[in-house]
Amino acid sequence: MKSAKPYIEKNKERFLDELIELLKIPSISADSAYKKDVLKTAEAVKKQLEKAGCDSVEICETPGYPIVYGEKIIDKKLPTILVYGHYDVQPPDPLDLWESPPFEPVIKKTKLHPEGAIFARGSCDDKGQMYMHVKALEYMTKTDQLPCNVKFMIEGEEEVGSSSLEWFVTKNKKKLANDVILISDTGMIAKDVPSITTGLRGLSYVEVEVTGPNRDLHSGLYGGAVANPINVLTKMIASLHDKNNHITIPGFYDDVEKLSKKEREKMAEAPFSLENYKKALDIDAVYGEKGYSTNERNSIRPTLDVNGIWGGYIGEGAKTVIASKAFAKISMRLVPNQDWKKITELFKKHFESIAPEGVRVKVKPHHGGQAYVTPIDSLGYKAAEKAYEETFGKTPIPQRSGGSIPIVALFEKELKSKTILMGFGLDSDAIHSPNEHFGVWNYLKGIETIPQFYHFFTEMSK
């Protein structure tokens, strides 16, 4: 495969303009007020896939948001790569912390991105990274170099749990048959330290509700005499970790995959600066489970975190009140062998059991998914390694990520193929945060590297 560099150089402005158009549509899957925009984004993705050279593209209806499916089959005897990505984005709030509006993309230079970075919700997660694949396909078809078959499956519900995709995949196994799945929805260590993600954490997401008295009460007349749901909830949550920051739910660690000393030593070799880590977050110390490094805490160990907590009066000034109810949203990141449904049950049982007298507790499971690990000796991994060597001049480092793409474990189970996670984002890109951005260099480097993967995967399959 010839280097895509000259083609990219020539078409760079258009590649950026097209992505910017896509980023202008607020495809927020979590908020039904944006339904029209989510649907509009699916149409836009369809159009771009057609332009890039897919033979057929369909908008596949589901019980939720549609899945855009496209393919170009050149020869049934050749390998087939299935590309997955998502066109939905996270809600942009808090809006006032954005330096420019989240759906009015601008390119600005930053310290890490002297060539400029595209600031917009979805720029990195995942419209920008998904679109790299569309442009890589354009390069291969327009220069007559597509070496194998390709299928695209771009969904619109990743940020809310991919429930329709699960339905779609189990119903369409034949249509989706492939030799390897390729995803760019993760990150890499640094611009000069390419890495391939070999693991994702699983997830169990729950919402809890603590109810005390049947109405909000005067905190003077009743304070001290009835259980205050907010006091109770915070106490219950605090008890979920012990003094070593281990999670106290009985059975929580039973199935946790234990890494050998050798594996942990290998992990510790990846370049990492604790000083820079703290500096980037403006914190004077890191925090976490005793006995594990920062990189282990955020990848190979399970966690429990409150994502939101509310109740009572939060308006201006003071209101003396004991709320009738308090709520929290809690996520548990899981590691290989932990079953998310079992963990959700353990959480529910435990949380209900620690409720003191005087309150009622409800636990509502949201969504979840299994963790994923992939070996580094598979054909797909080796082909990806070669692709990075070609475009970065360096062997990429395998790295387990702390994030989750719950559907990946299901792909392996249902479609029986390995997933290769070629992510080009940086930790500092602020995905899910205000001022999300994606480096122009990273975007173009992705477009350059992807065709090499097609080439090596096809060659090595022979």
Query: Which residues bind to ligand BES, rule: CB under 6 A?
Result: 125-126, 158-159, 161, 185-187, 200, 203, 367, 401, 403-406
Q: Torsions phi, psi of 49, nearest 5?
A: -65, -40
Inter-helix orientation angle 440-461/5-23, to 10°: 120
Q: Which residue is nearest to ligand BES (CB)?
A: 403
Of 334, 323, 85, 132, the residue nearest 210 (C-alpha): 323
The three-class DSSP label of residue 137 is: helix
Q: Which is nearer to ligand BES, 89 or 383 (CB)?
A: 89
**157 interacts with, out of ligand BES, Mn ion, none, CB within 5 to 8 A per kind:** none
Q: Which is nearer to ligand BES, 188 or 415 (CB)?
A: 188
Residue for token digits 């919402």?
A: 207
> Rounded to an integer, what distance in angstroms lies between the CA atom of residue 244 and that of residue 248?
10
Q: How far is the CB of 427 from ligand BES (least distance, A)?
A: 8
Q: How far is the CB of 129 from Mn ion (least distance, A)?
A: 8
> Rounded to an integer, what distance in angstroms lies between the CA atom of residue 24 and that of residue 120?
8
> Rounded to an integer, what distance in angstroms lies between the CA atom of residue 294 and that of residue 194?
20
User: Residue numbers of the site for Mn ion (CB under 5 A)?
Assistant: 125-126, 185
Q: How far is the CB of 136 from Mn ion (least distance, A)?
A: 18
Rounded alpha-carbon distances, angstroms, from residue 371 to 25, 165, 250, 400, 417: 31, 17, 20, 11, 16
Q: How far is the CB of 185 from ligand BES (least distance, A)?
A: 4
Of 386, 381, 370, 377, the residue nearest 421 (C-alpha): 381
Q: Which is nearer to ligand BES, 229 or 403 (CB)?
A: 403
The residue type found at 304 is: L
Q: How far is the CB of 92 from ligand BES (least distance, A)?
A: 14
Q: Which is nearer to Mn ion, 90 or 303 (CB)?
A: 90
Q: How far is the CB of 134 from ligand BES (least distance, A)?
A: 17
Which residues, at least 6 apart from 15, have a Cβ–Cβ distance to it below 8 Å?
8, 135, 443, 444, 447
Q: Which is nearer to ligand BES, 203 or 249 (CB)?
A: 203
Q: Which is nearer to ligand BES, 4 or 89 (CB)?
A: 89
User: How much is the CA Rg of the chain, to the nearest whole Å?
Assistant: 23
Q: Which is nearer to Mn ion, 126 or 155 (CB)?
A: 126
**436 interacts with, out of ligand BES, Mn ion, none, CB within 5 to 8 A per kind:** none
Q: How far is the CB of 131 from ligand BES (least distance, A)?
A: 14
